[in-house]
Structure 1
Amino acid sequence: MKKTTLTDIAREAGVGVATVDRVLNRRAPVRAETENRVVQAATRLGYRFAPEFLADSSAEGISGNGGALRIGVILLSRDYSFYDTFARSLEKQASPHCQPGTRVEFVFHDIHAVEAAAASIDEMSNRVNTLVLIALDNALVRRAVQKAAKKGVKVFTLLSDLSPCDHTGYIGLDNRKAGRTAAWIVQRLSGPPGKVGVIIGDNRFLCQETCEISFRSYLREHATGHTVLEPVTSFENVEQGYHVTTQLIQNHPDLSVIYAPCGGVEGVVNALRDSGKKDEITLICHGPLQDAQLALIDGTLDIMVSHRLEELAGSVVEAMLQANSEAHGSFISLHSSFELITKENV
Structure 2
Amino acid sequence: MKRPTISDLAREAGVSVSTVNRILSGATNVKASTAQHIQRTAEKIGFYGLGSIEDQIKKNAPHYRLGFLLQQSTRELYQHFGREITKACRGRQFDTADPLIDFVDLLTPENISQRLLALGRNCDAVALIAADHPQIGQTVRALSEMGKPVVAYITDQSAPERAAFVGTDNWKLGRTAAFLISQMTNHTGRIGVFQGNPRYQCQDVAEASFRSYIREHAPHLSVDECRSTNEEPNRAHEMVRDLLKSTDEIVGIFMVGGGISGVLRALREVPLERRRGVKLICRDIGPETRKGLSEGLITAALCHPMEHTSEVLVQTMINAVANDGPRSTVHHTVPFEIITPENI
- Fold-level similarity (TM above 0.5): yes
What is the CA distance between 1:283 and its match in structure 2? Answer: 0.7
Task: State the secondary structure of the residue aligned to 1:197.
Answer: strand
Superposition pairs of residues 44-83 of structure 1, within 5 angstroms: 67-83=62-78
Superposition pairs of residues 302-313 of structure 1, within 5 angstroms: 302-313=299-310
Task: State the secondary structure of the residue aligned to 1:103.
Answer: strand
2:124–2:149 CA contact under 8 A, matched in 1: yes
User: Distance between the aligned counterparts of 1:138 and 1:103, measured in 2?
Assistant: 28
Task: State the secondary structure of the residue aligned to 1:334.
Answer: strand
What is the CA distance between 1:210 and its match in structure 2? Answer: 0.1
User: Distance between the aligned counterparts of 2:209 and 2:335, measured in 1?
Assistant: 17
User: Distance between the aligned counterparts of 1:111 and 1:183, measured in 2?
Assistant: 32
User: Distance between the aligned counterparts of 1:14 and 1:96, measured in 2?
Assistant: 26
TM-aligned CA distance change 1:271 to 1:164, over 3 Å: same
2:251–2:277 CA contact under 8 A, matched in 1: yes
User: Distance between the aligned counterparts of 1:77 and 1:317, measured in 2?
Assistant: 21
TM-aligned CA distance change 1:44 to 1:251, over 3 Å: farther
TM-aligned CA distance change 1:78 to 1:35, over 3 Å: farther
Letter in 1 for 2:209: S
User: Distance between the aligned counterparts of 2:21 and 2:328, measured in 1?
Assistant: 29
1:32–1:67 CA contact under 8 A, matched in 2: no
Instruction: Tell me whether 1:161 sits opposite 2:156 in the alignment.
Output: yes
User: Distance between the aligned counterparts of 2:170 and 2:199, measured in 1?
Assistant: 15
Letter in 1 for 2:126: L
TM-aligned CA distance change 1:34 to 1:69, over 3 Å: farther
TM-aligned CA distance change 1:278 to 1:237, over 3 Å: same
Matching residue of 2:340: 342
Q: TM-score, normalised by structure 2?
A: 0.80
Unaligned runs of 5+ in 2: 1-18, 40-51
Letter in 2 for 1:179: G
TM-aligned CA distance change 1:307 to 1:12, over 3 Å: farther
Matching residue of 2:85: 90
Q: TM-score, normalised by structure 1?
A: 0.80
Matching residue of 2:283: 286
User: Distance between the aligned counterparts of 2:333 and 2:97, measured in 1?
Assistant: 28
Instruction: Tell me whether 1:273 sits opposite 2:271 in the alignment.
Output: no
TM-aligned CA distance change 1:244 to 1:14, over 3 Å: farther
Matching residue of 1:217: 212
- Pick from 171, 178, 200: which aligns with 2:173? 178
Instruction: Tell me whether 1:331 sits opposite 2:326 in the alignment.
Output: no
Instruction: Tell me whether 1:233 sits opposite 2:231 in the alignment.
Output: no
What is the CA distance between 1:301 and its match in structure 2? Answer: 1.0
Task: Please tell me whether Structure 1 or Structure 2 has the larger radius of gyration of its CA atoms.
Answer: 2
Q: Alpha-carbon deviations, 1:276-314, whole Å to 9, x = none? A: 332121111112121433322322111111221111111
2:112–2:136 CA contact under 8 A, matched in 1: yes
Instruction: Tell me whether 1:314 sits opposite 2:311 in the alignment.
Output: yes
2:302–2:337 CA contact under 8 A, matched in 1: yes
What is the CA distance between 1:193 and its match in structure 2? Answer: 2.5
Task: State the secondary structure of the residue aligned to 1:275.
Answer: coil
TM-aligned CA distance change 1:114 to 1:228, over 3 Å: same
* Number of residue equivalences: 308
1:266–1:290 CA contact under 8 A, matched in 2: no
What is the CA distance between 1:81 and its match in structure 2? Answer: 1.6
Task: State the secondary structure of the residue aligned to 1:19.
Answer: coil
Between 137-146 and 111-120, the greater mean CA deviation after superposition: 111-120
2:300–2:339 CA contact under 8 A, matched in 1: yes
What is the CA distance between 1:86 and its match in structure 2? Answer: 0.9
- Pick from 244, 253, 258: which aligns with 2:239? 244
Unaligned runs of 5+ in 1: 1-10, 23-29, 48-65
Superposition pairs of residues 9-24 of structure 1, within 5 angstroms: 15-17=23-25, 19-20=27-28
User: Distance between the aligned counterparts of 1:269 and 1:194, measured in 2?
Assistant: 20
Letter in 2 for 1:17: S
What is the CA distance between 1:96 and its match in structure 2? Answer: 4.9
User: Distance between the aligned counterparts of 2:225 and 2:107, measured in 1?
Assistant: 21
What is the CA distance between 1:155 and its match in structure 2? Answer: 0.6
TM-aligned CA distance change 1:17 to 1:259, over 3 Å: same
What is the CA distance between 1:140 and its match in structure 2? Answer: 0.9
